[in-house]
Amino acid sequence: MVIVMAPSCTDAEVDDVVAHVRTAGGSAFVSRGITRTIVGVVGTEEVLESVDVGLLPGVGEVVRITTPYKLVSSENHQSRSTVSVRGVPIGPDTFTLIAGPCAVESAEQTLAAAHQARRAGATLLRGGAYKPRTSPYAFQGLGVAGLRILAEVSAETGLPVVTEIVDAADVDVVAEHADMLQIGTRNMQNFPLLQAVGGAGRPVLLKRGLTATYEEWLMAAEYVAQRGNLDIVLCERGVRSFEPAIRNMLDVSAVPMVHAMSHLPVIVDPSHAGGRRDLVLPLARAAMAAGADGVMVDVHPEPERALCDGAQALSGGLLDELTVAQAARRGRWPAGPVGAGPARSGPAAGRRASGGPAGSGASRRPRRPAPGPAGCSAGGRRRSRTGRRGRRPGSPGRRPGTR
C-alpha cells in the first residue's frame, strides 16, 4: 500500500500517519520528494485492511499495490485454470455449452429440454430446483423433488447437473444430487452461503451481482476459495442499467477484464442478460468473440408454456443456429445450417471455389490477366517506350491538332 500525502501536509501529519500504520502492526517507509511525500506500507492482508488512513489530516490518496483477492488473483497464479465438472472441462483450452430449463417443472419437461440441450452440443445440464424470484407469487421451484428429477435426467442423458442453491442449510442435499453448485446474482454477497458452498466439495458457478464491480465479484469468489475450493467458474449475466428495453445490460468487457485480473474461467449467460430469445444468439456470439470459456442458455421444449422465463428460452431453429455458432468458436467452422453438409476443415476454407465469402454465393471480380512478355501489356499488345500502345507498321501518324 502507498499513502500519498497532500502537497501542503506538515511533518507532524506525516508522523501521525506513520504512527497509525505502526499501531496497526505494519511497517511504514517515508519517501520525501520535491513536491510530494509518500508513505509505503508493508504488512499482512489483515494489517492492510485495518490501516484506515484515508480521512487523516494531510492524506491525499491511498493506493493499493496488491489485490485484496489473493487466491483467485492472476498475480499469484500466472496460468489460466481449468475446472472439471464430472469430467467436463471449463477453461481456456475448450468451449463449454451449458443448457437446460430455467426451472424444473416436471420430469417430462426436464428430460425433453435435456435432449434438446445435448443435440445442440451442451455438455452440462442446467436446471433450477430452487428459484429465488422477485415476486413472492411467482413459481419458486419444486425444491427437493426438482433435485431428484435432475438427478434422474442426468443418469439417463449422461449430462452433469448445474443447479442453484439459495440457502446454506440446503448445501448437503443439493450437493448430493448436483455436480456443480450455482450461486445466483442475488446471493453473490451472501457470505455465509459462499462459505458453505466452499466447503461442500463441489465445483461452484458464481454469477455476478446486479450492481457488482469486478473486484466485488472476485472478492465473493475469494470467500469460496478461502474454504479450500478453487474449482470456481465466474458467470457474467448482465448488470442493471437505465435501459428498460432489455432485462439487463450484458457487460462483454467483463470477459477480457476478469481474465486479466483472475485465473478463473469466465462464462456468459446471454439468456438472463437480454431476457428475450431473439437477443440470446447475438449476445452469445458477442461472448464467444470476447473470449468467454463458455455460455449458459435457457432451453425449453414449449417456451410459451414455461412457468419461468419462457420469453428467453430457446427451442427449434434458434438452437440449431447456436450449434453452428459454438462449433465455429471451437474451430470446426460448419459450412452452413445444421444438416446442410460436412464441416469445413478450418478458417483457410473460409472462401468457396467461386472466390466469394463462405455462404455468400458471390464471386470475386475477375483478376487482371497476367503480364505478357517483356514490353507487352497484359493483353499482349506491344507498348512504345513512352508507355503508349504502338501503331501497326505502316499506319499513318497523327496529324498535329487532330484527334
105 within some domain: yes
Structural domain ending residue among the three candidates 11, 32, 63: 63
Say what the pLDDT of residue 363 is. Answer: 39
Whether 59 and 204 map to the same domain: the answer is: no
Residue 341 lies in a domain: no
Computed over every residue of the chain, the mean pLDDT equals 84
Q: Clarify whether residues 38 and 88 are in a common domain.
A: no
For 189-219, b where at least 16 C-beta lie within 10 A, e where not — what string? Answer: ebeebbebbbebebbbbbbbbeebebeebbb
Sheet with 27-32: list strands edge to edge: 27-32, 37-42, 2-5, 59-63
Q: Domain of 44?
A: 2-63
Judged by DSSP in three states, 81 sits in coil
Q: Mark whether 9 and 137 lie in a shared domain.
A: no
- Within this chain, do residues 251 and 331 fall inside the same structural domain, yes or no? yes
pLDDT at 377: 43
The confidence score (pLDDT) of residue 276 equals 93
Residue 36 is predicted with a pLDDT of: 86
Same domain? For 30 and 125 the reply is: no
Weakly modelled stretches of the chain, pLDDT under 70: 332-403
Task: For residue 387, give the amino acid letter.
Answer: G
| CATH number of the domain residue 36 falls in | 3.30.70.1140
In a domain, 72, yes or no: no
Whether 222 and 316 map to the same domain: the answer is yes
Torsion of CA 355, 359, 360, 365, to 10 degrees: 0
Domain count across the chain:
2
Give the per-residue pLDDT at 10: 93
147 shares a domain with 9: no
pLDDT the model gives residue 381: 46
Q: pTM of the prediction? A: 0.74
Q: What is the pLDDT of residue 318?
A: 86
Q: Supply the pLDDT for residue 140.
A: 84
- Residue-wise pLDDT for 131-147, tens only, equals 888 888 888 889 999 99
Using CA atoms, how far apart are residues 210 and 77, in angstroms rounded to an integer? 28
Q: Is residue 266 in a domain?
A: yes
C-alpha cell at 276: 428475450
Q: Is residue 380 part of a domain?
A: no
Evaluate whether residue 195 is within a structural domain: yes
One domain for residues 177 and 323: yes
